[in-house]
Amino acid sequence: MRFVPRSLFFKMSLSISLVLAVIFGASSYITFRIQSEQALDATRSQAILLTRALKNTIRIGMETGHIESLMSIFHTVGALPGVEKLRVFDEEGRILYSAKLSEIGKLTDELDYAVYRSPERSTPFQSANTGHRSFCMVEPVENEPRCQRCHRREIETLGVLDVCLSMEETEKKIEFNRLLMLSFTGLAIVLTSGMTSILLKRFVSNPVAKLVGTMESVEAGKLDGRVDIRSGDELGRLGNSFNEMIRKLSEAQAEIEKFHHRQLARADRLASLGEMAAGIAHEIKNPLAGIYGAAQVLSKEFPEGDPKREILDEMMALMKRLDNTIRDLLNFSRYTEPQFSEASLNDVIDKVLFLVKQIPEGKRATITREFDPAMPEIEMDQEQIKQVFLNLVLNALQAKPGGCSLTIRTYSEVPADVPDVKHNARFVTASVTDDGPGIPADKIGKIFQPFFTTKEAGTGLGLSMTRKILDLHDGWITASSEVGKGATFRVFLPKVKL
């Protein structure tokens, strides 16, 4: 399997990797945020608890007079890890007590003093004066009635307890956890994507590659290949179906080749027979013309009503029919290259109908024209197409010689109700419909075969010649009929030569 951007394997692997990256990334980010918030909440709670505990300790120590023990507690608590500040300052901001003796007597930080002066002084706040975050509490120690035994009553606040817990170690742990989580997330994405790619290659890419390879082999004409997919999943069933299709296609090709060989052999025989028939017809035509001429001379030697003259007249009629048959046979066997020129199908059919009106059958017929005025000019051999429609019209008139009702329609596009025609707009069509006796269903499939006819005086070559001309024009002809209700012939011609 080639790992290229257009391959299915690459697209699926990339898509799955992106989905995993989004899922794992979002999960890791949410987990990291929750852990960070929990660490901050824990430090905030510790600051609150420590401040409240120290405040109570100071109050108890002052009430009992153990000031020295308070200093010891200050130093002990201030030495604990994470305690950044532990001091008491007065209302002026001057530090009275501190875990760091060097701070006593100095002014406290401006931020701490400003928080003390704000309404939110009993709420934990963050400080970053030391280069890292800290949680601080500023808790005033009020002059309660029991404290007034030692302090003047007008003093409201005895001092302000200032406690700050450093977030430095917590931030280091958070950063470590972040890096650890990113590493594990990246590793999980890589491992999961790798395993997924292996599974995709095993269960999808390899079977698809085998299927594509076999399809390319079949496309190249090799029908002996088979898809080797032994799984029971959808791809396995697809492979089995494809193998079955190849088997049937191979059998069909073998049948077509056999049929083709038979058709070629038959075509060779027909070609030989055609050449022989054309040669025989040519050899017969000249002597037949001589015999016909001699019969005409002899016929004039006998008076009207003489039985011998009647016999000669019958002989000449038979020779005339034989001459027509020979002429049709020669025309059918002769290949004539069409001479294409642009013309309208409506005009060509009009010329044919003008000729038909000059014969007795045409004079007795009722002919209706329904021509499409939008008919374009197309490339055709006008004389050959005239022959096509002349054959069709004469067949209709001869099917009902007493008076035929004939309708001829043309269309600039194939009508939508005509079945089995693709790209209807690429063809023009014309239909010839009569009200004659119709063609039996068992014979309609044979009417275009040479020498097949349902008329006593017919040669059976007219419709064969018609189909041959249309083949030379890249067109075709169809026939439909119902016994007792006439027949319809449809002619299809391309607007542009194929």
Q: Is the distance from CB of 403 to CB of 360 less than 8 angstroms?
A: no
Instruction: Please tell me whether residue 405 adopts helix, strand or coil conformation.
Output: strand
Asked whether the predicted pLDDT for residue 206 surpasses 70, the reply is yes
End-to-end CA distance of the chain: 42
CATH fold of 250-334:
Helix Hairpins (1.10.287)
Q: How confident is the model at residue 263 (pLDDT cuts 50, 70, 90)?
A: low
Average pLDDT, the chain: 78
**Which CATH code is given to the segment(s) 338-494?**
3.30.565.10
Asked whether the predicted pLDDT for residue 342 surpasses 70, the reply is yes
State what percent of residues in the chain have pLDDT above 70: 80
Asked whether the predicted pLDDT for residue 2 surpasses 60, the reply is no
CA 387 to chain centre: 47
Distance (Å, whole) CA 401 – CA 481: 18
Q: Is the distance from CB of 487 to CB of 438 less than 8 angstroms?
A: yes
CA 135, 141, 144: angle at the middle one, nearest 5? Answer: 155
Asked whether the predicted pLDDT for residue 106 surpasses 70, the reply is yes
pLDDT of residue 456: 56
pLDDT in tens, 474-493: 888 988 888 888 899 999 99
Distance (Å, whole) CA 114 – CA 101: 23
**Which two structure tokens, joined as six digits, stand for 171?**
């931030």
Where are the domains positioned within the chain?
Answer: 8-173, 250-334, 338-494
Q: Which residues make Cβ contacts (< 8 Å) with residue 488, sequence separation at least 6?
A: 431, 432, 433, 479, 480, 481
Q: Is the distance from CB of 471 to CB of 465 less than 8 angstroms?
A: no
Q: Within the chain, what is the greatest distance between any pair of CA atoms?
A: 178
Distance (Å, whole) CA 166 – CA 152: 36
pLDDT of residue 370: 93
pLDDT of residue 445: 77
Burial of 405 (0-12, 13-18, 19+ CB in 10 A): middle
Q: How confident is the model at residue 451 (pLDDT cuts 50, 70, 90)?
A: low
Distance (Å, whole) CA 86 – CA 103: 10
| Nearest one of 72, 150, 450, 460 to 274, comparing CA atoms | 450
- Identify residue 433 by its one-letter amino acid code: T
pLDDT in tens, 356-388: 888 888 888 888 999 999 999 999 999 889 989
- More confident: 145 or 347: 347
Asked whether the predicted pLDDT for residue 169 surpasses 90, the reply is no
- More confident: 333 or 134: 134
- Identify residue 83 by its one-letter amino acid code: V
Q: How confident is the model at residue 11 (pLDDT cuts 50, 70, 90)?
A: confident
Instruction: Indicate the class that CATH gives domain 8-173.
Output: alpha beta
Please count the other Cβ atoms lying within 10 Å of the Cβ belonging to residue 341: 11
Instruction: Please tell me whether residue 494 adopts helix, strand or coil conformation.
Output: strand
- Containing 490, the helix (H) or strand (E) segment is strand 487-494
Q: Is the distance from CB of 434 to CB of 403 less than 8 angstroms?
A: no
| Global confidence as pTM | 0.44
Most confident of 191-195, 272-276, 304-308: 191-195
pLDDT of residue 1: 42
| Nearest one of 488, 479, 475 to 385, comparing CA atoms | 475
**Which two structure tokens, joined as six digits, stand for 60?**
């108890």
pLDDT in tens, 428-447: 999 999 988 888 888 877 77
In this prediction, residues 323-332 reach a mean pLDDT of 65
| Nearest one of 310, 261, 266, 319 to 288, comparing CA atoms | 319
